Amino acid sequence: MIRIKDLTKTYGRRAALDGLTLTLGVGVTGLLGPNGAGKTTLLRCLATTLAPDGGRIDAYGLDPSHPVQRTALRRRLGYLPQDPGFYPHFTAFDLVDYVAVLKELTDARQRHAEVRRVLAEVGLTDRAGTKVRRLSGGMRQRLALAQALLGDPDLLILDEPTVGLDPEQRMSFRALVSRLGESRTVVLSTHQTEDVAALCERVVVLRQGGVVFDGTPGALAAVAEGRVWLSDAAPEVSTLFWRTADGRYRTLGEPPPAANPAAPGVEDGYLMLLGEAA
Ligand X SMILES: Nc1ncnc2c1ncn2[C@@H]1O[C@H](COP(=O)(O)OP(=O)(O)OP(=O)(O)O)[C@@H](O)[C@H]1O
**Could you list the residues that contact ligand X (CB under 6 A)?**
11, 14, 16, 33, 35-41
In this structure, which long-range contacts are made by residues 88-91, counting pairs with CB atoms below 8 Å and at least 24 apart in sequence?
A: 88/131, 88/132, 88/133, 89/131, 89/132, 89/133, 90/131, 90/132, 91/128, 91/129, 91/130, 91/131, 91/132
Q: Is the dihedral of CA 45, 104, 149, 62 positive or negative?
A: negative
Closest CB 39 distance from ligand X, rounded Å: 3
Identify which of residues 41 and 231 has a Cβ nearer to ligand X in the complex.
41
Backbone φ/ψ region at 77: left (φ over 0), alpha (ψ -120 to 50), beta: beta
Identify which of residues 38 and 217 has a Cβ nearer to ligand X in the complex.
38
Identify which of residues 115 and 188 has a Cβ nearer to ligand X in the complex.
188
Closest CB 12 distance from ligand X, rounded Å: 7
Closest CB 176 distance from ligand X, rounded Å: 23
Identify which of residues 150 and 211 has a Cβ nearer to ligand X in the complex.
211
Instruction: List all residues 6 or more positions away from 249 whose beta carbon is below 8 Å from its beta carbon.
Output: 230, 231, 232, 233, 234, 235, 241, 242, 243, 256
Closest CB 47 distance from ligand X, rounded Å: 12
Smallest CA-to-CA distance from 260 within 218, 219, 226, 221 is with 226
Instruction: List all residues 6 or more positions away from 257 whose beta carbon is below 8 Å from its beta carbon.
Output: 231, 233
Identify which of residues 37 and 62 has a Cβ nearer to ligand X in the complex.
37
Closest CB 212 distance from ligand X, rounded Å: 13
Closest CB 241 distance from ligand X, rounded Å: 25
Identify which of residues 5 and 191 has a Cβ nearer to ligand X in the complex.
191
Smallest CA-to-CA distance from 64 within 81, 78, 43, 48 is with 48
Can you tell me the distance from the alpha carbon of 198 to that of 174, in angstroms, rounded to the nearest whole number? 8
Identify which of residues 91 and 208 has a Cβ nearer to ligand X in the complex.
208
Can you tell me the distance from the alpha carbon of 253 to that of 240, in angstroms, rounded to the nearest whole number? 7
Closest CB 78 distance from ligand X, rounded Å: 19
